[in-house]
Amino acid sequence: MSILMLTNMATFNNNEVFDPIAWAALDNSYSDSQLELCNQIDKSIHGNDTKTQVRIISAEIVSRVIDITCGYENWLKLGFALADGLSEDGRSIYHDLSRMNSCYNPTECDKQYTACLRGKGSGVTIKTFFQMAKEAGIDISEFGKAHPSAQTVSATYANAPSAINIEKVGKSTISGILDNGMADGVMAEVAENASTRGNGYTFSDKLDLENMVGFTRTIMDLHGKEPAKCDGQLIGALNAVSGLMGGANGSTEQRSGIYGIYDGHRVFAPIYNIVFSVAGNSKSNLKYCRMLLHPIKAEMRRKYEAEKMEYEANMAAWENKGKKERCAVPKEPQYLDPFVPGNSSSSAVYRAIDANGGWGIMFETEADTTSNMLNSDYGNYSDLMRKAHHHESLSMSRVTDKIHIDIEEPRLSIFLTCTHGQLPSLFPTFENGLGSRFLFLELPDEDIDFHNVFAMSDKPLEDTYKKLGNDLLPLYHAMQMRTGHPIQFVMSQSQQHEFIETYRGMLHEQFKMLGKGIRAFIFRMALECFRYAMILTTLRRLDEWQKTCDTSNPDPSTIFRDVENALVCDDRDFLTAMTIMGCLINHTARVYAILAKEDDNPFARKGIKLKAEELKVYNALPEGDFLTSDFIEAAESLKIPERTAQRMLSQFCNVYRIVNPVRRGLYNKPKRKED
């Protein structure tokens, strides 16, 4: 207990009624008149009811997701304080405040409060609670002036992990998984056998089923006996949900749904995934994840057909009118579909996303269709995908068709499956940054066996996933209803701290292993982790609503409260997101190590094989213009004779064409493209 706290307590006689607002005002050097005003306001609104004041202040602590129980000593002190001032009435408040800590256990919390009630002579009074609130940043003097419900932000609190206990999350997240599953030095070939696979290459077997929401729990119940396959189904299902959430984000004029702010930018849920494996390895089951979106597709189709019928009726009436009676020609409705075919040209993709109001879902279980389009229409298609991942504006003009499309904040989710051999076709180079926007997951080759084809005989997977899709539809409607009042997803301070420290450590670790080219992957994987947490916490809200709603007449508008404008990440979902990404970094690093050879040889993908000494000289050259003397100096520093250096420079210019002659004695090393 601080000296300042004891001094302030001493200003009140034990026989007086303790007024926390006046007490707080003294500490803030209020004048006598201000102090009296605070007391009068407090008495007029709440009287001198300490219980009411404690409830108001504790509600504010909860709404701000502040953990004042960090450390056993603080938790114990809070229990004694509430027991002193409120007796048994403080038990529920003790639970509310204890829930802010990731170690909260209802049974243990109950036992602790009972022990505090029985404790004698602890020396802690209710004044300690108000001091703890003040130290947590709560301005107690303000609570006589306004009730917390009048605050502008109404957030749903979660069980946010405390700073002191956050290391428990770390043991199950990225750093821990990398330690066990990531190989040092040169990576093995991408293809792996299930029996030789490292522990760090699956995640569903590391998730606590009790922490999963109904949607993801169903998938784990179905596929959990085979972790690698379960991983694939979860990734596919979460990708589908990410597309659904992107479809409910409205427009820049009328935003809706759920968004987050990441590195100062507004970000939405859509994610890019690639699941790859050898042929015939049950990738076909991933097609069922697409069925999660069929209810939305059917709904959009019904809307289109209704608009089409109305258009045809209006068109018939327009044609029956005389020329003088006719007004504007009725406008034909656009066909709407959440799915954007992977074999579409970039022009068709632009049109489909624009018709949907800025969003679309590319869900292809045969990546050849997409890789063919990337190869035939590479520039525009790749540019579209790269920009859409970060919601950068898309523009397209076709003079011949008199078409000009501008899409603000595009939301495109992409899910592809392929074989190992198809990956190079999808990403002939990683230099343009497209590859670093995808999360990779490999399904290992199965042992040669004929598996039990009757294991799932109760209900077809198709029906199960359709049912899950129907359960998702109310969430889609609820987010659409937030037009003009979207909800911001946020992480608690302790989660933010763990997030930053984890990815900072991962960046340094992977940079040492794979070089600077991996940076873009790590930066974007951190963003995807944020998106996964957003998706999982949103699904948790749906799950909570489904448990309490009127099943005979469910009302989606009640999934989110009208006053709600912030959704705080639940610590269980934070842990799940971090665990998923801890696995995916291993898969992604493998793909990068095999396909991205820029750091070892920046021209390997072009068929140019530099000798070791040639590569050293090339890397020693500055980007941009340099003189012949600079080249010779760089070669001599590596103990390469001048005559050999002259021949090497000629090779760079005339054979490899990796250095451009500017004029006699002056050359240019083109600047490398950054991801």
**What is the Cα–Cα distance from 516 to 513, expressed in whole angstroms?**
9
Domain boundaries, the chain: 3-151, 167-595, 604-669
Q: What is the CATH number of domain 604-669?
A: 1.10.10.10
Q: Characterize the bridge pairing of strands 359-364 and 411-418.
A: parallel
In the chain, which residues have pLDDT < 50?
Answer: 1-48, 144-190, 196, 377-379, 598-599, 674-675
**Cβ atoms of 250 and 392 closer than 8 Å:** no
What separation, in Å, do the N-terminal and C-terminal C-alpha atoms of the chain show? 53
- Give the model confidence (pLDDT) of 10-46 as tens digits: 333 344 444 444 444 444 433 444 444 444 434 433 3
Q: What are phi and psi of 626, to 5 degrees?
A: -150, 160
**Cβ atoms of 384 and 346 closer than 8 Å:** yes
> Could you tell me if residue 517 is left (phi over 0), alpha (psi between -120 and 50 degrees) or otherwise beta?
alpha
User: In this predicted structure, what is the pLDDT of residue 46?
Assistant: 38
Using alpha carbons only, what angle is made at residue 561 by residues 560 and 564, rounded to the nearest 5 degrees? 95
The neighbour count for residue 263, using CB atoms within 10 Å, is 9
Which own/partner pairs from 204-213 qualify as long-range (CB within 8 Å, at least 24 positions apart)?
A: 204/230, 204/231, 204/234, 205/230, 206/172, 206/177, 206/579, 206/583, 207/576, 207/579, 208/572, 211/572, 211/575, 211/576, 212/576, 213/536, 213/539, 213/540, 213/542, 213/543
Which residue do the tokens 């070089």 mark? 515
User: In this predicted structure, what is the pLDDT of residue 420?
Assistant: 80
User: In this predicted structure, what is the pLDDT of residue 194?
Assistant: 53
User: In this predicted structure, what is the pLDDT of residue 408?
Assistant: 92
- Give the model confidence (pLDDT) of 512-567 as tens digits: 777 777 888 999 999 999 999 999 999 999 999 999 888 788 899 999 998 899 99
User: In this predicted structure, what is the pLDDT of residue 375?
Assistant: 54
Cross-strand pairs, 407? 394
Of the candidates 330, 333, 331, 369, which has an alpha carbon nearest to the alpha carbon of residue 349? 369
Q: What are phi and psi of 627, to 5 degrees?
A: -95, 160
User: In this predicted structure, what is the pLDDT of residue 673?
Assistant: 56
In terms of pTM, does the model score above 0.85? Answer: no
DSSP class of 329: P
